[in-house]
Structure 1
Amino acid sequence: MSFLGSLGKKAVEKAYDLASKVEGGRDYLTTAANTVNSLVKGKDPRVFLKPGNVIQILSRSSGRTLQIVVSKTTNELICDAIGGTGSYYPNAHWLVVCTPNNHYYFHNNYNYLAVKNGKIIIIPSTANEKAPTEGEFRAHNVLGSAQAIHLESVHMPGYFLNFDDDGVPYEDAKLKAKERFAQFELHLIAYGPGIHPEKDDPTIEKSEELPPPSYWAAAASSNNPPSS
């Protein structure tokens, strides 16, 4: 049995429970997990979590991206995981905001992805307002995977973004699971101002594809979809 395979689910959960009782404990545990995963060959998804980068968050359960839509019942903005992939799906684009302690916010036109009262929600805001505390996340690498991450709420420790196979967000206790429903991959749409591709990083797979455009170029192209 491999080292990663020997880590029992109960042992991992116990470690998280213990870490939650120590100031900064969850951040320390996240760092440890990310260090273990640095030994796994492949592209580290956290290289895309740079300030100003525009990304898509792909759910491994639904196979689609997280997007903002308007609820047919409440007429409010909500999040599901059935969005399209690529620059022509702007409602599935998230701008990355980084904090000094390596946490993250994700917003689309200042509509923030968040966890509040055990539910995955969208919190509308403006450029002049402080980012909502419910929208702060820490990123955990999935142990044994070089591509996937978990996104844990800082406001509600132990609660993770979770979506079912149909892209519907889970609620309450189901947000505490760290199974396939809580695994995500990151797709880069555009680099933020002053952000350049990582160079000479052995954890990043080489690609013959052209680098993504700048944020403003991507935003302009999203308003001009290709003709059929």
Structure 2
Amino acid sequence: MKLEGGRDYLTTAANTVNSLVKGKDPRVYLKPGNVIQFLSRSSGRTIQIVVSKTSNELICDAIGGTGSYYPNAHWLVVCTSNGRYCFHNNYNYLAINNGKIIIIPSTSNEKAPTEAEFRAQDVLGSAQAIYLESVHMPGYFVNFNDDGVPSEDIKLKTKEKFGQFEIQLIAYGPGIQPEKDDQTIEKSDELAPPPYWAAAANASNNPSHTESNSTSS
């Protein structure tokens, strides 16, 4: 417990110093009920939930679109104790377990799984970017390569761009005071894909489609 508390304290202290130096808090949109997107600095796209072509399970990548037309890439901010966070999307949590990025099914009304809890650490010297460190597995960070594929080794040094994300605001939560110049994304020029739950339903109703996806991969 002391170790966890110490890690939380060091994270908070470093974030405070960075915000004072840069004049802006990269975590300003991490408030309860806000809906956000994570823009990967390595792929230039957002973290989204997709259906695996090989297993038909829900997985994550970082090639999602930006804006309100991309529900697969929307994350509801759930604040927990000691300045920690969980991120929820349509009955699913973003999580890290056994050194891998995973999706854990659960409603936002239930207590979040321990694997889904993160610390948000500022990228020192940046006014926009953060790292997401697993509370369940300290020293492990959400990260994706340049193609938006989850890195094989989640444990990385925090100076790497693969673990750096900028937060895009989609909508404010109930009672949250809007930020000045919040640059909320209202529209996109891209054609939105079908939501992942619709894709999963189509795959389960069409076994031949699932088989062809597995073969092509």
TM range (shorter): 0.7 to 0.9
- Distance (whole Å) between structure 2 residues aligned to residue 127 and residue 64 of structure 1: 25
Which amino acid is 1:150 matched to?
Y
Which amino acid is 1:34 matched to?
N
- Distance (whole Å) between structure 1 residues aligned to residue 140 and residue 101 of structure 2: 10
Query: What is the TM-score of this pair, normalised by structure 1?
Result: 0.76
Which amino acid is 1:177 matched to?
K
Equivalent residue for 1:5?
Answer: none
Q: Which runs of 5+ in 2 are unaligned?
A: 187-191, 193-217
CA displacement at 1:131 relative to structure 2: 1.1
Q: Determine if the alignment matches structure 1 residue 151 to structure 2 residue 129.
A: no
- Distance (whole Å) between structure 1 residues aligned to residue 141 and residue 6 of structure 2: 16
Contact 1:69–1:80 (8 Å) recurs in 2: yes
Q: Determine if the alignment matches structure 1 residue 90 to structure 2 residue 99.
A: no
- Distance (whole Å) between structure 2 residues aligned to residue 197 and residue 42 of structure 1: 18
CA displacement at 1:126 relative to structure 2: 2.5
Which amino acid is 2:48 matched to?
Q
Which amino acid is 2:141 matched to?
F
Q: Which runs of 5+ in 1 are unaligned?
A: 1-19, 200-205, 214-221, 223-228
- Distance (whole Å) between structure 1 residues aligned to residue 4 and residue 142 of structure 2: 22
- Distance (whole Å) between structure 2 residues aligned to residue 163 and residue 100 of structure 1: 27
Equivalent residue for 2:211?
Answer: none
2:38 to 57, 62, 71: 57
Q: Determine if the alignment matches structure 1 residue 130 to structure 2 residue 111.
A: yes
What is the total number of aligned residue pairs between the two structures?
A: 186
2:177 to 183, 190, 196: 196
Contact 1:191–1:212 (8 Å) recurs in 2: no
Contact 1:42–1:147 (8 Å) recurs in 2: no
Q: Secondary structure at the match of 2:162?
A: helix
1:172-201 Cα shifts (integer Å, max 9, x gaps): 4x43332110100000000001111136xx
1:97-148 Cα shifts (integer Å, max 9, x gaps): 0013110000101210000000001111134532111000000001111111
- Distance (whole Å) between structure 2 residues aligned to residue 158 and residue 40 of structure 1: 25
Which amino acid is 1:100 matched to?
S
- Distance (whole Å) between structure 2 residues aligned to residue 82 and residue 186 of structure 1: 15
Which amino acid is 1:102 matched to?
G
Contact 2:22–2:125 (8 Å) recurs in 1: no
Q: Check 1:191–1:170 CA distance in 2 against 1; reply closer, same or farther (3 A cut).
A: same
Percent identical residues: 80
CA displacement at 1:49 relative to structure 2: 0.3
1:30-59 Cα shifts (integer Å, max 9, x gaps): 112112212333542211000000000010
- Distance (whole Å) between structure 2 residues aligned to residue 67 and residue 41 of structure 1: 29
Q: Secondary structure at the match of 1:40?
A: helix
Equivalent residue for 2:205?
Answer: none
CA displacement at 1:21 relative to structure 2: 7.5
RMSD after superposition: 2.1
Which amino acid is 1:175 matched to?
K
Contact 1:40–1:145 (8 Å) recurs in 2: no
Which amino acid is 1:126 matched to?
T
Equivalent residue for 1:161?
Answer: 142
- Distance (whole Å) between structure 2 residues aligned to residue 54 and residue 127 of structure 1: 13
Q: Secondary structure at the match of 2:3?
A: coil
CA displacement at 1:212 relative to structure 2: 6.6
1:48 to 12, 29, 50: 29
Query: What is the TM-score of this pair, normalised by structure 2?
Result: 0.79
